[in-house]
Amino acid sequence: MRQGTSQARTKLRAAAFHALLILCAGMASVCAGQVVLDGFPTETVAMTPEIVEAGRQLYTERCSFCHGVAGAGDGSVADYLDPRPRDLTSGIYKFRTTGTGELPMDEDIFRVITRGVPGTAMPSWTEVLTEDERWQLVHYIKTFCEDFEYLTEEDYVEMRITVGAELASTAETVAKGEELYRNMKCWECHGDRGRGDGPASGTHTDDWGYPIWPFNLTQGWQYRGGSTAKDIYIRFTTGISGTPMPSYADNLSDEERWQLAHYIRTLIAEEAAPGSSVVLRSKSLKGDLPTDPSDPRWETAEPTEIALSGQVITRPRWQNPAIESINVRSLYNEDDIAFLLEWDDRREDRVHQVGDELSADDVEDTYVRLGSSRPQEAMRDAVALQFPVKMPEGPVKPHFYRGAPGKSVNLWMWAADRSGDAERDTSVEEMNATGYVDPPVPQPKESQQTHGAATWSEGKWQAVISRTLTTEDSAKDIQFVPGLFIPIAFNAWEGSNGERGLKMSMSSWYSLLLETSTPVSVYLYSLVGILLACGFELWLVRRLRKAGPA
Amino acid sequence: MPRRRMSLFWSVVVACASIYVFLAFVFPYAAMWIAGSENALPVPAALIAIFMALTIVGALIHVSTDDDRLREFLDPVVRLLRGWDRSEGYSTRAVARLAVLTAFPLLVGWVVYGAAAPDTRTPSLLRIQHPTMPGRYENLTNPFADVDEATRAQYIEEGTTLYQVNCRPCHGTKADGAGPMARGLRLKPADFQDAGTIGTVVESYAFWRIKEGGRGLPMAASPWDSAMPAWKDELSDEEIWKIVMAEYAIAGREPRKPESHE
């Protein structure tokens, strides 16, 4: 009995001691505010010569073609990429939890290898490399830059930033954050609505001399360092080394940082994920169609988000497109159909200098090479809708990339430089193409029947493009019939990104449906069916009753 | 007391229903078990329709062979239509009768509506991923199949570089079909790590696909939706064979062995 109590007491004491330990550890981590992010390793692995050697082999196999055999960022793929693969000998790391200008923590490098850098060529390696293998790479790539060798344990503790407990996101914190966004002049680079279109946008180069654009804060899927409030907090606290994005470590209190981070999160557009719907529904409207992008009637049409990629099917293959999605709405009435296209574009480019198309022969490499110098070519912004000329019978369509010989497509191309052109009545040109080999052929002036109006503001184009439902020229023009699924595709050009001709963004085929209300006749037929069935039943019942019990 | 037999009408109904349940639900799993397949093997709707039509015709012939049987069969139907005397009570039977009598015209109306209303279902991308390759590619073999290990490693390295420059934007650095340019493509670039792509074809098949691209596909594989470029004008045959070797190596897959003609 006595033994029992003393045992119980020891247990109790041990438990109390443990609880105290846990409490202390918890307090310590809160006080130090040590940052833990998703993608951080579960435990740290120290460097040994074997680990470095294993890392070298992995690096040669998995990373060298981008980052270069000696880590100088000059692998075979490097010249085609924007941003370029990092020069790992420079010691410049963008995504850190350390103070501005510092080297990264091992956990930071581990995290980049784990999750990659979204919106760039740097992939995530979670599925193909184990945690141990990722540690081997961390220790190997650190050998490229000798600055790491001089870091002591104390340095690591000192350079690490601290993050206070997260503030809840409320209307009030967001409003405070908006004020900070204005006062801290984030808008000078990132723009009033966050689309990367501020007055200073377009004037920057990074530390390697390449042009760089302020980030478009509305595109949630592109956030390179992560899009949680904590990630964003860390980003403007540490700054992004090697780029004009500054550190605000000395200008903001912890509370203010959370407020600003929560405001930035509200900028992320809450539109449907691109590609989630494949049918663009054109709504039927009584009366005239809107010709102005700001017409409130557009609100009644269901928007469809179209995903775009660079044209990489034939030369000039272009893998650094600026426009990655277009939001489209459509309305139609008895005579006409109109489309509203909206897309993010940091600069308004209304001037065109170079020849219209960039042909395959102008580029030798399989992909457009950016090389070490990137001349800023002044090109116009443009967008095009593509339809098959003939409604496909069955599933057979022209190829989504400019059709095919014998399978012509009809393109309506709106271009920003045309609106002031006195020679033209319209800023939209109708063209036809039967493949990508020859440039599309513009239709003669008298067959140009499309109309367009566009405005640019705060980093966004809005263009309305319209035409009659049917035309006389059925050999070259698509004829719209309500109730059918009509293939539709999109091309887009961002002039400031040097895009023209086949150096463009493009989508696959989507379906356009001019929505029809069910015709009255259908209801009539159904009613007749019901009445007939009732009559038949009545007749049967009466007959059987007359016949009497069997 | 004689055991009450189920009436002829209800036995016909039960027989038809059980055959339907068997075809639509039991058979697919039985077939899956027999064939050792991973998924149930559903009976095509058209086939079910034919079997059911046969069953119903058979049942009708069975009941109409003599007058008594026909009368027995029709009896519940006739009684339902005729209704019962008030004296027999205002029971659930009467409610059921009313329900059947209203349901029939509504069913007819619904069928008519379905047939007449415009179809607004989303069109789907139905295609065959691995159509037969053209004859002239069938007998090609990899010229580098029998090189020694060191040379093989070197070719795979050369192929990897070519793959990473040319194919990575769509098929991805890790050959997982998730390159940066896959985002805007509705027909996604093939995921070579997946068991159903290059792992199920012979090397010459991959060689054909790389050379002729999406536009070289037959109609059944919807060439108009495929972004896969034709590389025949830009990469030499040797380069393509090296890419094929690298592609399998990066994805960690083995090509199918060609059947030997003995």
pLDDT score recorded for residue A358: 65
Is the predicted pLDDT of residue A13 greater than 70, yes or no?
no
Q: Which of A463, A488, A446, A444 is nearest to A338 (CA)?
A: A463
Residues facing residue A386 across a β-bridge? A411, A489
Is the predicted pLDDT of residue A276 greater than 80, yes or no?
no
Count Cβ neighbours within 10 Å for each residue of A59-93 and write b for 16 or more, e otherwise: beebbbbbbbeebbbbbebbbbbbbbbbbbbbbbb
Phi first, then psi: what are they for A337, rounded to 5°? Answer: -130, 145
Q: Which domain holds residue B180?
A: 135-261
User: Which of A399, A516, A544 is nearest residue B78 as measured by Cβ atoms?
Assistant: A544
Q: Which two tokens stand for residue A316?
A: 């000039």
- Picking from A312, A319, A369, A524 by the largest number of B CB atoms within 10 A of its own CB, the best residue to mutate is A312
User: Which of A120, A128, A400 is nearest residue B225 as measured by Cβ atoms?
Assistant: A400
Do the bridges between strand A485-493 and strand A409-415 make them parallel or antiparallel, or are there none, so unpaired? unpaired
Contact of A64 with chain B, judged by CB distance below 8 Å, is answered with no
- B158's CB contacts (< 8 A; 6+ apart) are B242, B246
Contact of B72 with chain A, judged by CB distance below 8 Å, is answered with no
Residues facing residue A500 across a β-bridge? A503
**Is position B148 within any domain?**
yes
Cβ separation A307–B108 shorter than 8 A = no
Is the same domain home to B143 and B257? yes
Q: Which two tokens stand for residue A507?
A: 């989508």
State yes or no: cis peptide before B2, omega within 30 of 0: no
Q: What is the mean pLDDT of chain A?
A: 89
As a whole number of angstroms, the distance between CA A497 and CA A346 comes to 10
User: Is domain A31-161 classified as CATH 1.10.760.10?
Assistant: yes
Determine the residue of chain A that is closest to B75 in CA distance: A550
Rg (CA), chain A: 31
Do the bridges between strand A382-388 and strand A409-415 make them parallel or antiparallel, or are there none, so unpaired? antiparallel
pLDDT score recorded for residue B121: 64
Residues on chain B touching A310 (C-beta within 8 angstroms) = 169, 181
Cβ separation A550–B165 shorter than 8 A = no
Residues on chain B touching A324 (C-beta within 8 angstroms) = 183-184
Chain center to CA of A173: 27
Cβ separation A400–B83 shorter than 8 A = no
Is the same domain home to B152 and B221? yes
From A41's Cα to the closest Cα of chain B, the distance in A is 22
Is the predicted pLDDT of residue A257 greater than 60, yes or no?
yes
Q: Which two tokens stand for residue A334?
A: 């008895």
pLDDT in tens, B123-133: 666 788 899 99
Q: How much is the average pLDDT of A16-23?
A: 49
3-state secondary structure of A428: strand
Is the predicted pLDDT of residue A133 greater than 50, yes or no?
yes
Q: Which long-range contacts (CB under 8 A, 24 or more apart) does A39-42 make?
A: A39/A110, A39/A111, A39/A114, A39/A115, A39/A226, A40/A107, A40/A110, A40/A111, A41/A107, A41/A110, A41/A131, A41/A134, A41/A135, A42/A131
Phi first, then psi: what are they for B181, rounded to 5°? Answer: -90, 0
Reported pTM: 0.84
pLDDT score recorded for residue B262: 42
Is the predicted pLDDT of residue A348 greater than 70, yes or no?
yes
For A375-379, A416-420, B100-104, which range has the lowest pLDDT when averaged over its residues? A375-379
Is the same domain home to B63 and B146? no
Q: Which of B142, B137, B140 is nearest to B241 (CA)?
A: B142
pLDDT score recorded for residue B4: 67
Residues facing residue A332 across a β-bridge? A284, A337
User: Which of B71, B122, B160 is nearest residue A279 as measured by Cβ atoms?
Assistant: B122
Is the same domain home to B57 and B151? no
From B39's Cα to the closest Cα of chain A, the distance in A is 26
Q: Are B164 and B173 in contact (CB under 8 A)?
A: yes
* H or E stretch covering B109: helix B92-116
Query: In angstroms, what CA-CA distances link A220 with A227, A268, A327?
Result: 7, 5, 15
**Is position B57 within any domain?**
yes
Phi first, then psi: what are they for A514, rounded to 5°? Answer: -80, 105
User: Which of A314, A485, A519 is nearest residue B229 as measured by Cβ atoms?
Assistant: A314
Q: Which two tokens stand for residue A230?
A: 């904590």
Question: How many separate domains does chain B show?
Answer: 2
Q: At B108, is the pLDDT very low, low, confident or very high (cuts 50, 70, 90)?
A: very high
Q: Are B221 and B180 in contact (CB under 8 A)?
A: no
**Is position B66 within any domain?**
yes
User: Is domain A279-514 classified as CATH 1.10.10.10?
Assistant: no
Query: In angstroms, what CA-CA distances link B11 with B5, B16, B17, B61, B63?
Result: 9, 9, 10, 14, 11
pLDDT score recorded for residue A393: 79
pLDDT score recorded for residue A420: 66
Is the same domain home to B112 and B139? no
Is the predicted pLDDT of residue A509 greater than 60, yes or no?
yes
As a whole number of angstroms, the distance between CA A488 and CA A467 comes to 15
From A453's Cα to the closest Cα of chain B, the distance in A is 26
For A281-290, A351-360, A510-519, B75-84, which range has the lowest pLDDT when averaged over its residues? A351-360
Residues 124-163 of B with CB under 8 A from A: 126, 160-161
Is the predicted pLDDT of residue B244 greater than 50, yes or no?
yes
Q: At B79, is the pLDDT very low, low, confident or very high (cuts 50, 70, 90)?
A: confident
From A282's Cα to the closest Cα of chain B, the distance in A is 13
**Is position B129 within any domain?**
no
Is the same domain home to B110 and B183? no
Q: How much is the average pLDDT of A423-448?
A: 90
**Is position B109 within any domain?**
yes
From B9's Cα to the closest Cα of chain A, the distance in A is 17
Contact of B220 with chain A, judged by CB distance below 8 Å, is answered with no
Q: At B117, is the pLDDT very low, low, confident or very high (cuts 50, 70, 90)?
A: confident
Is the same domain home to B103 and B140? no
Is the predicted pLDDT of residue A266 greater than 90, yes or no?
yes
pLDDT score recorded for residue A521: 86
- B221's CB contacts (< 8 A; 6+ apart) are B127, B128, B129, B131
Q: What is the DSSP string of A28-71?
A: HHHHHTB---TT--SS-----HHHHHHHHHHHHHHTHHHH-TTS
Q: Which of B230, B97, B253, B92 is nearest to B174 (CA)?
A: B253
Q: Are A298 and A471 in contact (CB under 8 A)?
A: no
Domain boundary among B70, B85, B116: B116
* H or E stretch covering A454: strand A451-457
Contact of A333 with chain B, judged by CB distance below 8 Å, is answered with no
Q: At B260, is the pLDDT very low, low, confident or very high (cuts 50, 70, 90)?
A: low
pLDDT in tens, A300-335: 999 999 999 999 999 999 999 999 999 999 999 999
Do the bridges between strand A325-332 and strand A279-284 make them parallel or antiparallel, or are there none, so unpaired? parallel
**Is position B124 within any domain?**
no
Chain center to CA of A285: 32
Is the predicted pLDDT of residue A142 greater than 60, yes or no?
yes
Q: Are A224 and A117 in contact (CB under 8 A)?
A: yes
Q: Which two tokens stand for residue B156?
A: 């795979």
Assign residue B181 the CATH number of its domain. Answer: 1.10.760.10
Q: At A373, is the pLDDT very low, low, confident or very high (cuts 50, 70, 90)?
A: low
Count Cβ neighbours within 10 Å for each residue of A121-134 and write b for 16 or more, e otherwise: bbbbbeebbeeebb
Contact of A282 with chain B, judged by CB distance below 8 Å, is answered with no
Q: At A43, is the pLDDT very low, low, confident or very high (cuts 50, 70, 90)?
A: confident
pLDDT in tens, A214-256: 999 999 889 999 999 999 999 999 999 999 999 999 999 999 9
Q: How much is the average pLDDT of A38-49?
A: 90
For A78-92, A93-107, A139-153, A410-424, which range has the lowest pLDDT when averaged over its residues? A410-424
Contact of B219 with chain A, judged by CB distance below 8 Å, is answered with yes
Is the predicted pLDDT of residue A25 greater than 50, yes or no?
no
Between A160 and A395, name the one with better pLDDT: A160
Residues on chain A touching B111 (C-beta within 8 angstroms) = 529
3-state secondary structure of A187: helix
Percent of chain B with pLDDT over 90: 56
pLDDT score recorded for residue B7: 83
Residues in chain B: 262
Residues facing residue A487 across a β-bridge? A511
pLDDT score recorded for residue A272: 55
Q: What is the largest CA-CA distance in chain A?
A: 110
pLDDT in tens, B165-204: 999 999 999 999 999 999 999 999 999 999 889 988 999 9
From A111's Cα to the closest Cα of chain B, the distance in A is 18
Is the same domain home to B150 and B189? yes
As a whole number of angstroms, the distance between CA A376 and CA B233 comes to 30
- Picking from B158, B224, B235, B243 by the largest number of A CB atoms within 10 A of its own CB, the best residue to mutate is B224
Q: How many CB pairs under 8 A join A and B?
A: 157
Phi first, then psi: what are they for A130, rounded to 5°? Answer: -75, 170
From B110's Cα to the closest Cα of chain A, the distance in A is 7
Contact of B17 with chain A, judged by CB distance below 8 Å, is answered with no
Q: What is the DSSP string of A135-178?
A: HHHHHHHHTTSGGGGG--HHHHHHHB-B-PPPPP--HHHHHHHH
Q: Find the angle CA(A86)-CA(A88)-CA(A92) to the nearest 5 degrees.
A: 75
**Is position B73 within any domain?**
yes
Is the predicted pLDDT of residue A21 greater than 80, yes or no?
no
Q: Are A182 and A190 in contact (CB under 8 A)?
A: no
Domain A171-271: homologous superfamily in CATH = Cytochrome c-like domain (1.10.760.10)
Q: Which of A489, A510, A484 is nearest to A332 (CA)?
A: A484
Q: Quickly count helices (H) and strands (E) in chain A.
A: 11, 14
Q: At B150, is the pLDDT very low, low, confident or very high (cuts 50, 70, 90)?
A: very high
- Picking from B70, B74, B82 by the largest number of A CB atoms within 10 A of its own CB, the best residue to mutate is B82
Residues 180-209 of B with CB under 8 A from A: 180-187
Q: At B22, is the pLDDT very low, low, confident or very high (cuts 50, 70, 90)?
A: very high
Cβ separation A529–B181 shorter than 8 A = no
Percent of chain A with pLDDT over 90: 75
Is the predicted pLDDT of residue A170 greater than 50, yes or no?
yes
Most confident of A382-386, B69-73, B80-84: A382-386
Q: What is the DSSP string of B155-202?
A: HHHHHHHHHHHHTHHHH-TTSSS--GGGTT-SSPPP-TTSTTTGGGS-
Contact of B164 with chain A, judged by CB distance below 8 Å, is answered with yes
For A185-189, A362-366, A496-500, which range has the lowest pLDDT when averaged over its residues? A362-366
Query: In angstroms, what CA-CA distances link B138 with B207, B215, B247?
Result: 10, 19, 20
pLDDT score recorded for residue A356: 52
Is the predicted pLDDT of residue A463 greater than 50, yes or no?
yes
Q: Are A240 and A231 in contact (CB under 8 A)?
A: no
- A89's CB contacts (< 8 A; 6+ apart) are A70, A71, A72, A73, A144, A145
Residues on chain A touching B178 (C-beta within 8 angstroms) = 123
3-class SS letters over A362-417? HCCCCECCCCCCCCCCCCCCEEEEEEECCCCCCCCCCCCCCCECCECEEEEEEEHH
**Is position B125 within any domain?**
no
